[in-house]
Amino acid sequence: MEKIVLISFDVEPDCPPYLSSTTGIEQGMPLILELLSTENVRATFFTTAVIAEKFPKIVKRIVDEGHELGCHGYRHERFDKLSYDEARKAIEKATTLLRRFGDVISFRAPNLMFPEHYIRILIDNNYMSDSSNAKYKPPFPRGLEIFEEGIIRVPASVTSSVLRLPWRIQKAIHSRLKSPIVYFAHPWEYVDMRKKKVRFDCKFGTGEHALKNLQRLIQFHREKGAVFMTFREFVKLVFSSRIQFASQMLSNNTHNFFVKSQSNTLQDFHGNL
Ligand SMILES: [Zn+2]
């Protein structure tokens, strides 16, 4: 089975919380959208409601060009610092605003910080995927978590700054990643940030270098026969053919996945490959 690759972008102000400028949206987004169109790849854009309100034309372009619009919170708030009720209000408000542009069923919390029991809020708001966790961050999920309530947690595979390393270094990382491979990056990374007063990891390799590497990344996986998908396409594939998908994953030994329930009766389902 070919590897599945999900490319995603977190559409937010420049390098939050350090800056509140939006050069990434104004200058980075058109470059990303052009490149994806040239390479004929559909991606998922997790967008904050505040950005969508301020830049409706860009959000409309995301949807019109066949990409998926996802939710990245209302104003890029840290959900682990909000109470359950505050989180619920922020998600409901953001969802209502973003759904004016089209259906929104995929979510990623800012800073990849989202308490697991808050998934109930996503279920109640008809989300089908959550990508608020990462394989390289505690509690180090090893693969997909499929909740019986009908939502899948799809963890990010690597942090965004990996995509700005010199190509020969990152190439070795990409070939070792397990499917489904989830990448994320930010519009501001495609603008030259080197002269801005921000942390080093918000600056290095930004601008043209990052854009060139994004193209190399797409071409690298394509040459190996990968299938590019949005989160929406991926979750629909899993739910529509769960048994078949499971057996394919298991026979190829390329994926881990677990079936869970929000009532916390974790069933380790073929969990230890
Ligand atoms: Zn973010």
The per-residue pLDDT for range 49-73, each reduced to its tens digit, is 999 999 999 999 999 999 999 999 9
**Cα 73 to ligand 1 centroid, rounded to whole Å:** 9
Q: How confident is the model at residue 159 (pLDDT cuts 50, 70, 90)?
A: very high
Share of the chain above pLDDT 90, in %: 75
**Distance between CA atoms of 182 and 2, rounded to whole angstroms?**
14
Average pLDDT over residues 233-243: 82
Mean pLDDT, residues 205-234: 97
Distance 226 CA to ligand 1 centre (A): 26
pLDDT of 117 higher than 60: yes
pLDDT at 251 over 80: no
CA of 249 to the centre of ligand 1 (A): 30
Asked if the bond preceding 180 is cis, omega within 30° of 0, the reply is yes
Looking at residues 240-253, what average pLDDT do you find?
58
Residue 266: the pLDDT is 37
Residue-averaged pLDDT of the chain: 90
Q: In angstroms, what is the span from residue 21 Cα to ligand 1's centroid?
A: 14
Ligand 1: centre distance to CA 62 (Å): 17
Kindly report the pTM of this predicted structure: 0.91
Structure confidence at residue 149 (pLDDT):
85
Ligand 1 centroid–CA 130 distance in Å is 14
Residue 263: burial class (beta carbons within 10 Å; 0-12, 13-18, 19+): exposed
Residue 194 in contact with residue 207, Cβ under 8 Å? yes
What separation in Å is there between the alpha carbon of 201 and the centre of ligand 1? 14
Q: What is the pLDDT of residue 246?
A: 60
Give the integer Cα–Cα distance in Å for 243 and 249: 10
Q: Which residues surround ligand 1, an ion (CB under 5 A)?
A: 10, 12, 110
User: What residue ranges define each of the domains in the chain, with the CATH number in brackets?
Assistant: 4-260 (3.20.20.370)
Å from CA of 179 to ligand 1 middle: 23
Question: Looking at the predicted structure, is the pLDDT value of residue 212 above 50?
Answer: yes
Distance 155 CA to ligand 1 centre (A): 15
- Distance of CA 12 from the midpoint of ligand 1 (Å): 6
Q: How many whole angstroms separate alpha carbon 232 and alpha carbon 52?
A: 19
* DSSP state letters, the chain: -PPEEEEEEEE-SSTTTT----HIIIIIHHHHHHHHHHHT---EEEE-HHHHHH-HHHHHHHHHTTPEEEE--SSS--GGGS-HHHHHHHHHHHHHHHTTSS---EE--GGG---GGGHHHHHHTT--EE---BTTSTT---SEEEETTTEEE--BSS-GGGGGS-HHHHHHHHHHPPSSEEEEE-GGGGS--TTSSS-GGGTTT-THHHHHHHHHHHHHHHHTT-EEE-HHHHHHHHHHTHHHHHHHHHHHT---EEEE-TTS--B-SS---
C-alpha of residue 270 to centroid of ligand 1, in Å: 32
| d(CA 223, ligand 1 centre) in Å | 30
Q: How many Å lie between the centroid of ligand 1 and the Cα of residue 91?
A: 15
Cis ω on the peptide bond leading into residue 17 (within 30° of 0)? yes
The answer to whether residue 223 scores a pLDDT higher than 50 is yes
Whether pLDDT at 97 is above 60: yes
The position carrying tokens 């390393």 is 165
Q: How far is the CA of 176 from the centre of ligand 1 (A)?
A: 25
194 compared with 160, residue with greater pLDDT: 160
Instruction: Return the pLDDT at 196.
Output: 85
246 vs 117 pLDDT, higher one: 117
Helix axes of 29-39 and 208-223: crossing angle, nearest 10 degrees = 20
The alpha carbon of 185 and the centre of ligand 1 are apart by a number of angstroms equal to 9
